[in-house]
Structure 1
Amino acid sequence: MYDYHVHTTYSDGSFLPRMIDAAERAGLDGVGFADHCNVFDAEADQAYREASGFNLDLTYERRRRAIDRARERTDLRLFDAVEMDYHAAREEAIESFLEDADFEYAIGSVHAIDGVNVHNQSYFAGLSETEREAAVEMYVDHLISLVDSELFEIAAHVDLVERNEALRGLLTEDHYGRIADAFTDSRTVPEINAGRVLDAYGEFHPSESFAELLVDAGVSFTIGSDAHAPGSLIDCSEELRAVREEWHLPIVELDLV
């Protein structure tokens, strides 16, 4: 089993050697380091990058050398990847960076709605129901643009808004259908993401009902723990093994040289 979505200290995760050791202990065949990256040039985005330490656009070559050295000490397949923030108006900058950086694969994520992080519970709880519905509609529009762009091999946590209690339950059958249609026409595939399965949210992305709809539409998945620490990588690997069997999911391996 390959885990294509793991973080290191090159964004907001743990040390690379510790994550490799955890992947070995979890019995994985390969692990992909997909640290957060944002190449938006707005002042607010730059401030967010600096505060969060999301500087992979400046450090990916250093991380690449570390991955190359680590390959000499493990039988695991190690992948040099990235998790890119996506916004429809920033496609040109994203495409240019990905072409220059030449990662083995890229994961695309919609982490913000109108400039506000999806996880910001207090902000979205303060909006009216109509405003929250409009925010979810915007999220879906950007997610579909991400899939349509085909800039990425993988689309991460495709129902991310469900993590936020203020937005939970606002995705509609129409939203699910539109997202499924986008994936059926794209080279980009969604992941089964375990990033919040061990905490209070306790669910995978996508949810089981959404995953069933995607399977019915002929969509396959990759596997991603979205782990930021060794313990969660190990624990999530067990959860992911179980769910891919219980949900009878079609899992694909990326066609990488």
Structure 2
Amino acid sequence: MKFDLHTHHFRCGHADGNIRDYVEAALEAGLQVIGISDHTPYFGEKEDRAFPRIAMGKSELQHYVREVLDLKKEYEGRIDVLLGIESDFFPEHAETYRKFLADVPFDYIIGSVHSVGGVSIFNKNRWKGLSEQERIRVKEEYYRLIQDSARSGMFQILGHIDAMKGNFPAFSDIPADEIIDETLQTIAECGIAIEINTSGKTKLSGGWYPADAILERALHFGVDVTFGSDAHVPGRVGDERDEVARRLKDIGFREWVYFKGKDKKAVPL
């Protein structure tokens, strides 16, 4: 069973292609399951579309859901099209997000921390002038937010849990073993999966999220893993999926999971 649970399309404002393009790309890549998971609107903002190049508008959500559900029916028997979404996690707006998402028949929701202290995790300028202790404090705050997202009960999957290294590769060298282990233990206790996300290759860090060292610790703590290309162009659907599967086997994983109707489905590697 080959799947990819993390894809985007034109509605978010920074991806190319229609949803159908991603479904067709999945068929071409030999997948049996394709998850559509565009960015949630900014539910905590007053405007319909507060950040046009980051996420869809609130008024677009119903059209997004309908389109995915229609394609699910159209492609039935050829490929399983899953309705997902990638939700930001802002503790101060968590209940607002929960309310907006509760009545939608999602197969799964990916929870991703994209902002720490009001600044994008991908903003490499945030690190300028910070002392080592200040860098440690930022990294710890990032992982505390990921822990809170796991405890929220809103998500089946947590997205790219070391993506803060994306445009600042030195992030990986900031000492934080204790809080990373604490975070992985929390994720395991909450029964949530983490994704191996191959979009890191599009950033300065290269490689995948998370790093092998984190995946080794995830195995130790019994964390479930899944796969997502985080494709923003159809050509990246399923990107490096087979390589990820081989690496997970080398680390010691024997299965990974996907979600349908929010039920966890285990698939042997």
Q: How does the TM-score come out when normalised to structure 1?
A: 0.89
Match of residue 251, structure 1, among 248, 256, 260: 256
Q: Secondary structure at the match of 1:196?
A: helix
**RMSD of aligned residue pairs (Cα, Å):** 2.3
Match of residue 209, structure 1, among 188, 206, 213: 213
| Residue segments in structure 2 that go unaligned for 5+ positions in a row | 264-269
Q: 1:166 to 1:243 in 2, by over 3 A?
A: closer
Q: Secondary structure at the match of 1:119?
A: coil
For residues 243 and 251 of structure 1, the distance between their equivalents in structure 2, rounded to whole angstroms, comes to 12
Q: How does the TM-score come out when normalised to structure 2?
A: 0.86
Structure 2 equivalent of residue 107 of structure 1: 110
Q: 1:53 to 1:134 in 2, by over 3 A?
A: closer
Match of residue 197, structure 1, among 194, 197, 201: 201
Match of residue 159, structure 1, among 152, 156, 162: 162
Structure 2 equivalent of residue 145 of structure 1: 148
For residues 45 and 131 of structure 2, the distance between their equivalents in structure 1, rounded to whole angstroms, comes to 27
Whether the aligned pair in 2 keeps the contact of 1:225 and 1:233 (CA below 8 Å) is yes
Whether the aligned pair in 2 keeps the contact of 1:79 and 1:104 (CA below 8 Å) is yes
Does 146-155 or 46-55 show the bigger shift?
Answer: 46-55
Match of residue 15, structure 2, among 13, 16, 23: 13
Q: Which amino acid aligns with 2:139?
A: V
Shift of 1:124: 1.9
Size of the aligned set, in residue pairs, is 255
| Residue segments in structure 1 that go unaligned for 5+ positions in a row | none
For residues 171 and 231 of structure 1, the distance between their equivalents in structure 2, rounded to whole angstroms, comes to 36
Q: Secondary structure at the match of 1:254?
A: strand
Shift of 1:198: 5.5
- Runs of at least 4 residues off by over 4 Å: none
Structure 2 equivalent of residue 54 of structure 1: 55
Structure 1 vs Structure 2: percent identity of aligned residues? 25
Q: Secondary structure at the match of 1:203?
A: coil
Match of residue 224, structure 1, among 222, 228, 231: 228
Structure 2 equivalent of residue 67 of structure 1: 68
Shift of 1:170: 1.7
**1:177 aligned onto 2:178:** no
Shift of 1:90: 1.7
Whether the aligned pair in 1 keeps the contact of 2:219 and 2:252 (CA below 8 Å) is no
Whether the aligned pair in 1 keeps the contact of 2:169 and 2:204 (CA below 8 Å) is no
Q: Which amino acid aligns with 2:201?
A: V
Structure 2 equivalent of residue 237 of structure 1: 241
Q: Which amino acid aligns with 2:259?
A: L
Q: Which amino acid aligns with 2:130?
A: L
